[in-house]
Chain A
Protein backbone atom coordinates (compact mmCIF):
# COMPACT_ATOMS: atom_id res chain seq x y z
CA UNK A 1 0.00 0.00 0.00
CA UNK A 2 1.97 3.01 1.25
CA UNK A 3 5.25 1.25 1.99
CA UNK A 4 7.44 3.99 0.55
CA UNK A 5 5.97 6.64 2.84
CA UNK A 6 6.43 4.26 5.77
CA UNK A 7 10.06 3.77 4.77
CA UNK A 8 10.50 7.52 4.69
CA UNK A 9 9.06 7.75 8.22
CA UNK A 10 11.42 4.95 9.22
CA UNK A 11 14.44 6.76 7.77
CA UNK A 12 13.39 10.04 9.47
CA UNK A 13 13.31 8.28 12.82
CA UNK A 14 16.56 6.46 12.24
CA UNK A 15 18.33 9.68 11.19
CA UNK A 16 17.05 11.49 14.28
CA UNK A 17 18.30 8.66 16.50
CA UNK A 18 21.62 8.52 14.66
CA UNK A 19 22.18 12.25 15.18
CA UNK A 20 21.28 11.93 18.84
CA UNK A 21 23.79 9.10 19.25
CA UNK A 22 26.46 10.83 17.12
CA UNK A 23 26.44 7.87 14.79
CA UNK A 24 28.66 7.99 11.76
CA UNK A 25 26.95 5.24 9.89
CA UNK A 26 23.93 3.06 10.44
CA UNK A 27 24.54 -0.65 9.83
CA UNK A 28 21.30 -2.37 10.64
CA UNK A 29 17.66 -1.54 11.28
CA UNK A 30 15.28 -4.03 12.76
CA UNK A 31 11.58 -3.49 12.19
CA UNK A 32 8.85 -5.66 13.65
CA UNK A 33 5.84 -6.12 11.39
CA UNK A 34 2.66 -7.97 12.30
CA UNK A 35 0.21 -9.26 9.67
CA UNK A 36 -2.52 -6.99 11.08
CA UNK A 37 -0.44 -3.82 10.70
CA UNK A 38 -1.63 -3.56 7.11
CA UNK A 39 1.95 -3.41 5.84
CA UNK A 40 3.51 -5.88 3.47
CA UNK A 41 7.07 -6.79 4.56
CA UNK A 42 8.15 -7.67 1.01
CA UNK A 43 7.09 -4.25 -0.31
CA UNK A 44 8.76 -2.55 2.64
CA UNK A 45 12.03 -4.28 1.66
CA UNK A 46 11.67 -3.11 -1.94
CA UNK A 47 10.89 0.48 -1.03
CA UNK A 48 13.61 0.75 1.60
CA UNK A 49 16.73 1.36 -0.58
CA UNK A 50 14.94 4.22 -2.35
CA UNK A 51 14.09 5.94 0.93
CA UNK A 52 17.54 5.26 2.43
CA UNK A 53 19.52 6.69 -0.50
CA UNK A 54 21.57 9.73 0.48
CA UNK A 55 20.86 9.34 4.22
CA UNK A 56 22.91 8.05 7.16
CA UNK A 57 21.11 4.77 6.65
CA UNK A 58 22.21 4.32 3.06
CA UNK A 59 23.57 0.81 2.69
CA UNK A 60 22.27 -0.29 6.09
CA UNK A 61 20.63 -3.67 6.23
CA UNK A 62 16.89 -3.77 6.90
CA UNK A 63 15.90 -6.77 8.94
CA UNK A 64 12.19 -7.41 9.13
CA UNK A 65 10.94 -9.64 11.88
CA UNK A 66 7.49 -11.10 11.51
CA UNK A 67 5.50 -10.67 14.69
CA UNK A 68 3.17 -13.57 15.40
CA UNK A 69 -0.57 -13.12 15.76
CA UNK A 70 -1.48 -13.93 19.36
CA UNK A 71 -4.68 -13.35 21.26
CA UNK A 72 -5.68 -13.21 24.91
CA UNK A 73 -9.08 -14.76 25.61
CA UNK A 74 -11.47 -12.69 27.72
CA UNK A 75 -13.53 -15.78 28.48
CA UNK A 76 -10.99 -18.38 29.61
CA UNK A 77 -7.99 -16.09 30.16
CA UNK A 78 -5.58 -18.14 28.03
CA UNK A 79 -3.18 -16.80 25.38
CA UNK A 80 -2.88 -18.60 22.08
CA UNK A 81 -1.64 -18.31 18.50
CA UNK A 82 -4.16 -17.18 15.91
CA UNK A 83 -4.25 -16.16 12.28
CA UNK A 84 -5.00 -12.70 10.89
CA UNK A 85 -8.59 -13.48 9.94
CA UNK A 86 -9.42 -15.94 12.74
CA UNK A 87 -8.65 -14.25 16.03
CA UNK A 88 -10.29 -17.03 18.02
CA UNK A 89 -9.09 -18.55 21.29
CA UNK A 90 -7.35 -21.85 20.52
CA UNK A 91 -8.41 -23.24 23.91
CA UNK A 92 -12.11 -22.47 24.21
CA UNK A 93 -12.91 -21.23 20.69
CA UNK A 94 -14.40 -17.95 21.87
CA UNK A 95 -14.15 -14.88 19.62
CA UNK A 96 -14.10 -12.40 22.46
CA UNK A 97 -10.35 -11.96 22.45
CA UNK A 98 -7.83 -9.11 22.61
CA UNK A 99 -4.87 -8.97 20.32
CA UNK A 100 -1.59 -9.11 22.24
CA UNK A 101 0.68 -9.32 19.20
CA UNK A 102 0.28 -9.09 15.44
CA UNK A 103 -0.52 -5.45 14.62
CA UNK A 104 2.96 -4.06 15.24
CA UNK A 105 4.75 -1.72 12.90
CA UNK A 106 7.68 -0.72 15.04
CA UNK A 107 11.32 0.14 14.75
CA UNK A 108 12.80 -2.04 17.48
CA UNK A 109 16.55 -1.81 17.01
CA UNK A 110 19.24 0.26 15.33
CA UNK A 111 22.92 -0.68 15.07
CA UNK A 112 25.47 1.98 14.21
CA UNK A 113 29.09 3.06 14.30
CA UNK A 114 29.90 6.09 16.42
CA UNK A 115 31.90 9.06 15.20
CA UNK A 116 34.42 8.79 18.06
CA UNK A 117 35.53 5.33 17.03
CA UNK A 118 37.17 6.87 13.98
CA UNK A 119 38.76 9.98 15.50
Chain B
Protein backbone atom coordinates (compact mmCIF):
# COMPACT_ATOMS: atom_id res chain seq x y z
CA UNK B 1 0.00 0.00 0.00
CA UNK B 2 1.19 3.54 -0.58
CA UNK B 3 0.45 6.73 1.28
CA UNK B 4 0.16 9.17 -1.54
CA UNK B 5 -2.81 8.11 -3.60
CA UNK B 6 -5.19 7.04 -0.87
CA UNK B 7 -5.07 3.33 -1.70
CA UNK B 8 -4.87 2.73 2.06
CA UNK B 9 -8.52 3.67 2.08
CA UNK B 10 -10.77 0.87 0.98
CA UNK B 11 -14.54 0.70 0.95
CA UNK B 12 -14.13 -1.35 4.12
CA UNK B 13 -12.43 1.33 6.17
CA UNK B 14 -13.22 4.66 4.54
CA UNK B 15 -15.99 5.34 7.05
CA UNK B 16 -13.25 5.79 9.67
CA UNK B 17 -11.97 9.02 8.16
CA UNK B 18 -15.15 10.30 6.53
CA UNK B 19 -16.75 13.40 8.10
CA UNK B 20 -18.72 12.17 11.07
CA UNK B 21 -16.70 8.95 11.17
CA UNK B 22 -15.03 7.96 14.37
CA UNK B 23 -11.57 9.15 13.33
CA UNK B 24 -12.86 12.57 12.32
CA UNK B 25 -12.92 14.82 15.35
CA UNK B 26 -11.29 17.99 16.50
CA UNK B 27 -10.53 19.28 19.95
CA UNK B 28 -11.61 22.83 20.59
CA UNK B 29 -9.21 25.46 19.27
CA UNK B 30 -6.93 23.14 17.38
CA UNK B 31 -6.57 22.31 13.74
CA UNK B 32 -6.77 18.86 12.33
CA UNK B 33 -5.03 17.30 9.41
CA UNK B 34 -6.18 14.05 7.87
CA UNK B 35 -3.26 11.96 6.77
CA UNK B 36 -2.77 8.40 5.68
CA UNK B 37 0.71 7.38 6.55
CA UNK B 38 1.74 3.80 6.64
CA UNK B 39 3.92 3.57 9.72
CA UNK B 40 6.24 1.00 8.20
CA UNK B 41 6.89 3.23 5.19
CA UNK B 42 10.59 3.71 5.99
CA UNK B 43 11.17 -0.05 6.00
CA UNK B 44 9.00 -0.45 2.89
CA UNK B 45 10.99 2.21 1.06
CA UNK B 46 14.24 0.43 1.74
CA UNK B 47 12.68 -2.95 0.86
CA UNK B 48 11.68 -1.54 -2.52
CA UNK B 49 15.26 -0.38 -2.98
CA UNK B 50 16.52 -3.90 -2.12
CA UNK B 51 14.10 -5.41 -4.64
CA UNK B 52 15.30 -3.09 -7.41
CA UNK B 53 18.88 -3.95 -6.54
CA UNK B 54 18.42 -7.73 -6.69
CA UNK B 55 16.24 -7.45 -9.79
CA UNK B 56 19.06 -5.71 -11.62
CA UNK B 57 21.07 -8.89 -11.10
CA UNK B 58 18.14 -11.28 -11.64
CA UNK B 59 18.48 -13.00 -8.27
CA UNK B 60 15.33 -14.89 -7.23
CA UNK B 61 15.01 -14.22 -3.49
CA UNK B 62 13.07 -16.26 -0.94
CA UNK B 63 12.41 -15.27 2.69
CA UNK B 64 12.22 -18.36 4.94
CA UNK B 65 10.26 -17.92 8.15
CA UNK B 66 9.27 -20.28 10.97
CA UNK B 67 9.48 -20.95 14.70
CA UNK B 68 12.96 -21.64 16.07
CA UNK B 69 13.86 -25.25 15.36
CA UNK B 70 11.31 -25.89 12.59
CA UNK B 71 14.11 -26.87 10.23
CA UNK B 72 14.95 -23.80 8.14
CA UNK B 73 18.69 -24.49 8.08
CA UNK B 74 18.17 -28.21 7.46
CA UNK B 75 15.88 -27.39 4.55
CA UNK B 76 18.55 -25.05 3.18
CA UNK B 77 21.24 -27.72 3.51
CA UNK B 78 19.05 -30.22 1.68
CA UNK B 79 18.19 -27.60 -0.96
CA UNK B 80 21.86 -26.87 -1.59
CA UNK B 81 22.50 -30.63 -2.02
CA UNK B 82 19.56 -31.03 -4.40
CA UNK B 83 19.92 -27.84 -6.44
CA UNK B 84 23.55 -26.78 -6.58
CA UNK B 85 24.10 -28.60 -9.88
CA UNK B 86 21.64 -26.27 -11.62
CA UNK B 87 21.55 -23.07 -9.54
CA UNK B 88 24.17 -20.88 -7.92
CA UNK B 89 22.86 -20.41 -4.39
CA UNK B 90 23.70 -17.95 -1.62
CA UNK B 91 22.23 -17.50 1.84
CA UNK B 92 21.69 -14.58 4.21
CA UNK B 93 21.38 -15.94 7.73
CA UNK B 94 19.57 -14.08 10.49
CA UNK B 95 20.36 -15.21 13.99
CA UNK B 96 20.28 -13.65 17.43
CA UNK B 97 23.75 -14.63 18.58
CA UNK B 98 25.67 -17.33 16.74
CA UNK B 99 27.22 -18.00 13.34
CA UNK B 100 26.36 -21.71 13.64
CA UNK B 101 23.80 -21.72 10.84
CA UNK B 102 26.03 -19.78 8.44
CA UNK B 103 28.86 -22.22 9.12
CA UNK B 104 26.57 -25.18 8.36
CA UNK B 105 25.78 -23.61 4.98
CA UNK B 106 29.39 -22.61 4.24
CA UNK B 107 30.57 -26.17 4.93
CA UNK B 108 28.61 -27.13 1.81
CA UNK B 109 30.60 -24.66 -0.29
CA UNK B 110 27.87 -22.04 -0.48
CA UNK B 111 28.38 -18.40 0.36
CA UNK B 112 26.55 -17.33 3.52
CA UNK B 113 26.39 -13.88 5.07
CA UNK B 114 25.54 -13.87 8.75
CA UNK B 115 23.44 -11.08 10.22
CA UNK B 116 23.68 -11.26 13.99
CA UNK B 117 20.66 -9.35 15.21
CA UNK B 118 21.53 -9.29 18.91
CA UNK B 119 18.21 -8.99 20.68
CA UNK B 120 16.24 -8.01 17.58
CA UNK B 121 13.70 -10.71 16.85
CA UNK B 122 13.36 -10.17 13.10
CA UNK B 123 15.30 -9.04 10.05
CA UNK B 124 14.39 -5.71 8.51
CA UNK B 125 15.08 -4.21 5.10
CA UNK B 126 18.01 -2.21 6.46
CA UNK B 127 19.90 -5.27 7.76
CA UNK B 128 19.28 -7.13 4.51
CA UNK B 129 20.45 -4.11 2.52
CA UNK B 130 23.83 -4.21 4.27
CA UNK B 131 24.11 -7.97 3.76
CA UNK B 132 23.32 -7.65 0.03
CA UNK B 133 26.38 -5.45 -0.37
CA UNK B 134 28.57 -8.30 0.86
CA UNK B 135 27.39 -10.63 -1.92
CA UNK B 136 28.41 -10.81 -5.57
CA UNK B 137 24.88 -10.81 -6.90
CA UNK B 138 25.92 -11.49 -10.50
CA UNK B 139 27.12 -14.91 -9.36
CA UNK B 140 23.82 -15.89 -7.73
CA UNK B 141 20.63 -17.44 -9.14
CA UNK B 142 18.73 -18.06 -5.90
CA UNK B 143 19.19 -16.15 -2.66
CA UNK B 144 17.62 -17.58 0.49
CA UNK B 145 17.12 -15.25 3.44
CA UNK B 146 16.77 -17.29 6.61
CA UNK B 147 14.83 -15.05 8.95
CA UNK B 148 15.11 -15.16 12.75
CA UNK B 149 13.14 -18.08 14.19
CA UNK B 150 9.92 -16.34 15.24
CA UNK B 151 6.33 -16.63 14.01
CA UNK B 152 5.37 -13.09 14.99
CA UNK B 153 7.61 -10.18 13.99
CA UNK B 154 9.24 -11.29 10.71
CA UNK B 155 5.81 -11.31 9.04
CA UNK B 156 5.50 -7.53 9.28
CA UNK B 157 8.75 -6.56 7.54
CA UNK B 158 9.18 -6.55 3.79
CA UNK B 159 12.84 -7.24 3.01
CA UNK B 160 12.68 -6.92 -0.77
CA UNK B 161 12.19 -10.66 -1.32
CA UNK B 162 10.07 -12.17 -4.11
CA UNK B 163 8.47 -14.98 -2.17
CA UNK B 164 7.71 -15.84 1.46
CA UNK B 165 8.00 -19.45 2.55
CA UNK B 166 6.71 -20.36 6.01
CA UNK B 167 7.77 -23.63 7.59
CA UNK B 168 5.56 -25.48 10.05
CA UNK B 169 7.21 -28.52 11.59
CA UNK B 170 4.63 -31.15 12.40
CA UNK B 171 5.49 -31.48 16.13
CA UNK B 172 4.38 -27.84 16.53
CA UNK B 173 0.74 -28.73 15.89
CA UNK B 174 -1.73 -28.20 13.06
CA UNK B 175 -3.33 -25.11 14.65
CA UNK B 176 -0.31 -22.83 14.11
CA UNK B 177 -1.94 -20.98 11.17
CA UNK B 178 -4.89 -20.03 13.41
CA UNK B 179 -2.59 -18.92 16.22
CA UNK B 180 -0.30 -16.84 13.98
CA UNK B 181 -2.61 -15.48 11.28
CA UNK B 182 -0.37 -12.54 10.33
CA UNK B 183 2.51 -14.91 9.57
CA UNK B 184 0.56 -17.58 7.71
CA UNK B 185 -1.47 -15.05 5.73
CA UNK B 186 1.86 -13.77 4.35
CA UNK B 187 3.02 -17.19 3.09
CA UNK B 188 3.35 -17.92 -0.64
CA UNK B 189 4.13 -21.51 0.26
CA UNK B 190 3.71 -23.45 3.49
CA UNK B 191 6.19 -26.27 4.02
CA UNK B 192 5.15 -28.87 6.58
CA UNK B 193 8.54 -30.13 7.74
CA UNK B 194 9.73 -33.23 9.65
CA UNK B 195 6.86 -35.26 8.18
CA UNK B 196 8.90 -38.41 8.84
CA UNK B 197 7.57 -37.96 12.41
CA UNK B 198 3.91 -38.14 11.37
CA UNK B 199 3.57 -41.87 12.15
CA UNK B 200 4.33 -41.16 15.81
CA UNK B 201 2.25 -37.99 16.07
CA UNK B 202 -1.38 -38.98 16.44
CA UNK B 203 -2.59 -35.38 16.88
CA UNK B 204 -1.28 -33.71 13.70
CA UNK B 205 -3.57 -33.67 10.70
CA UNK B 206 -2.27 -32.29 7.40
CA UNK B 207 -5.88 -31.70 6.37
CA UNK B 208 -6.56 -29.61 9.49
CA UNK B 209 -3.36 -27.59 8.90
CA UNK B 210 -4.57 -26.90 5.32
CA UNK B 211 -8.06 -26.00 6.51
CA UNK B 212 -6.63 -23.54 9.04
CA UNK B 213 -4.51 -21.98 6.30
CA UNK B 214 -7.49 -21.69 3.91
CA UNK B 215 -9.47 -20.02 6.72
CA UNK B 216 -6.95 -17.18 6.36
CA UNK B 217 -8.05 -16.83 2.72
CA UNK B 218 -4.65 -18.12 1.66
CA UNK B 219 -4.54 -20.43 -1.35
CA UNK B 220 -0.79 -21.07 -1.01
CA UNK B 221 0.42 -24.60 -1.83
CA UNK B 222 1.18 -26.83 1.16
CA UNK B 223 4.09 -29.27 0.79
CA UNK B 224 4.96 -32.17 3.06
CA UNK B 225 8.72 -32.32 3.43
CA UNK B 226 11.31 -34.28 5.34
CA UNK B 227 15.01 -33.82 4.78
CA UNK B 228 15.39 -37.43 5.94
CA UNK B 229 13.16 -38.66 3.12
CA UNK B 230 14.82 -37.44 -0.08
CA UNK B 231 11.81 -38.23 -2.29
CA UNK B 232 9.69 -35.65 -0.41
CA UNK B 233 12.13 -32.91 -1.48
CA UNK B 234 11.05 -33.19 -5.13
CA UNK B 235 7.92 -31.08 -4.66
CA UNK B 236 10.02 -28.33 -3.06
CA UNK B 237 12.56 -28.38 -5.90
CA UNK B 238 9.72 -28.36 -8.47
CA UNK B 239 8.15 -25.33 -6.81
CA UNK B 240 11.49 -23.49 -6.83
CA UNK B 241 12.03 -24.40 -10.51
CA UNK B 242 8.60 -22.99 -11.39
CA UNK B 243 9.11 -19.83 -9.38
CA UNK B 244 12.60 -19.18 -10.78
CA UNK B 245 11.19 -19.59 -14.32
CA UNK B 246 8.26 -17.32 -13.45
CA UNK B 247 10.65 -14.74 -12.00
CA UNK B 248 12.91 -14.79 -15.05
CA UNK B 249 9.94 -14.21 -17.33
CA UNK B 250 8.98 -11.20 -15.20
CA UNK B 251 12.55 -9.89 -15.27
CA UNK B 252 12.63 -10.10 -19.07
CA UNK B 253 9.56 -7.86 -19.19
CA UNK B 254 11.21 -5.43 -16.75
CA UNK B 255 8.78 -6.46 -13.98
CA UNK B 256 9.34 -7.91 -10.55
CA UNK B 257 7.60 -10.40 -8.28
CA UNK B 258 6.25 -9.59 -4.84
CA UNK B 259 5.12 -11.81 -1.99
CA UNK B 260 1.36 -12.48 -1.93
CA UNK B 261 0.56 -10.08 0.85
CA UNK B 262 1.57 -7.21 -1.43
CA UNK B 263 -0.83 -7.70 -4.37
CA UNK B 264 -3.70 -6.53 -2.15
CA UNK B 265 -2.18 -3.06 -2.14
CA UNK B 266 -1.49 -3.17 -5.86
CA UNK B 267 -5.04 -4.35 -6.54
CA UNK B 268 -6.55 -1.65 -4.36
CA UNK B 269 -4.27 0.86 -6.00
CA UNK B 270 -5.54 -0.18 -9.41
CA UNK B 271 -9.13 0.05 -8.17
CA UNK B 272 -8.65 3.54 -6.79
CA UNK B 273 -7.16 5.08 -9.91
Contacts and interface: CB of A to CB of B under 8 A. Distances in A.
Interface in B1-50: 3, 8, 10-13, 16-17, 22-24, 26-27, 29-42
Nearest to A23: B31
B147 to A, nearest CB: 13
Nearest to A88: B215
A2 B122 contact: yes
Interface in A54-111: 65, 67-68, 70-72, 79, 84-88, 95-111
Given A1-B153, A88-B215, A101 B10 contact: yes
Contacts of B233: none
A96 B217 contact: yes
A114 interface: yes
Interface string B201-229: 00000000000101111010000000000
Contact of B23 (A10, A27, A109): A109
Interface string B180-218: 011001000000000000000000000000001011110
Interface string B109-138: 000000000000110000000000000000
A105 B40 contact: yes
Contact of A9 (B8, B39, B121, B212): B39
A94 to B, nearest CB: 9
B152 A111 contact: no
Contacts of B212: 85
Interface residues of A, number: 50
B264 interface: yes
A23 to B, nearest CB: 8
Contacts of B219: 96
Contacts of A38: 152-153, 155-156, 182
A46 interface: no
B13 to A, nearest CB: 4
B30 A32 contact: no
Counting chain A CB atoms within 10 Å of each CB, the highest count among B8, B153, B178, B181 belongs to B181
A9 B217 contact: no
Contacts of B27: 27-28, 111
8 contacts: A2-B156, A17-B33, A79-B11, A85-B212, A101-B13, A106-B3, A111-B26, A112-B31
Interface of A: 1-2, 6, 9-10, 12-13, 17, 21, 27-28, 30-32, 36-39, 65, 67-68, 70-72, 79, 84-88, 95-114
